[in-house]
């Protein structure tokens, strides 16, 4: 899992998951994950600090997961290329990411708000074109839903959910 954070996804891992290598640069996130890690039978190991340089062998993973992570990685293209490198051919990257909205009017607001958002939200970019980034990194989009998150302003709630397949 790229951007493991505080382990919010741990209770939702499907039964076929046998282990998780958690890539997480923030010590505070890893500490906050303690309760969730203690409650799961799935072995989770903090295995990397930087999604832009993964410490794993080529073609070694059956799947990867990224949720609300791609907005903050400084070189998101490098990170996605690394994820593609470590995935086996035909393996899926499952993602839920916020980014550039599909509506021009909302996009204009996102561009206006982005400098403030980056300062107050840990470098978060509102205007990253998620599907374009995935395809540029060599993935094929297999499933995709683009929606606005309920109870959030559209400028910060444009979500891309889906799977992208490694070649």
Query: What residue spans define the domains of the chain?
Result: 50-165
Q: What is the mean pLDDT of residues 154-164?
A: 98
CB atoms under 10 Å from CB of 80, counted, come to 28
Which of 44-53, 115-124, 154-163 has maximum average pLDDT? Answer: 154-163
Kindly tell me if the per-residue pLDDT of 48 is higher than 80. Answer: no
Beta 20-23 vs 44-48: how paired, if at all? parallel
Kindly tell me if the per-residue pLDDT of 28 is higher than 90. Answer: yes
Q: 99 near 126, Cβ under 8 Å?
A: yes
**Sole residue written with tokens 């606005």:** 148
C-alpha 55, offset from chain centre: 17
pLDDT digit string, tens, across residues 80-108: 999 999 999 999 999 999 999 999 999 99
Fold of 50-165: Rossmann fold (3.40.50)
Mean pLDDT (the chain, rounded): 96
């Amino acid at each position: 899992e790229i951007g493991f954070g505080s382990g919010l996804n741990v209770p939702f891992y499907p039964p076929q998951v046998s282990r998780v290598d958690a890539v997480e640069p923030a010590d505070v996130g890893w500490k906050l994950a303690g309760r969730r890690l203690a409650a799961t039978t799935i072995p989770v190991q903090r295995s990397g600090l930087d999604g832009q340089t993964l410490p794993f062998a080529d073609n070694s993973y059956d799947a990867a997961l990224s949720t609300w992570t791609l907005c903050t990685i400084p070189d998101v293209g490098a990170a996605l290329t690394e994820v593609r490198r470590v995935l086996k051919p035909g393996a899926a990257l499952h993602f839920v990411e916020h980014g550039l909205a599909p509506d021009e009017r909302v996009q204009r607001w996102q561009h206006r708000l982005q400098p403030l958002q980056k300062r107050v939200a840990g470098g978060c970019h509102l205007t990253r074109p998620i599907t374009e980034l995935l395809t540029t990194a060599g993935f094929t989009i297999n499933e995709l839903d683009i929606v606005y998150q309920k109870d959030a302003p559209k400028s910060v709630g444009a979500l891309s959910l889906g799977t992208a397949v490694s070649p």
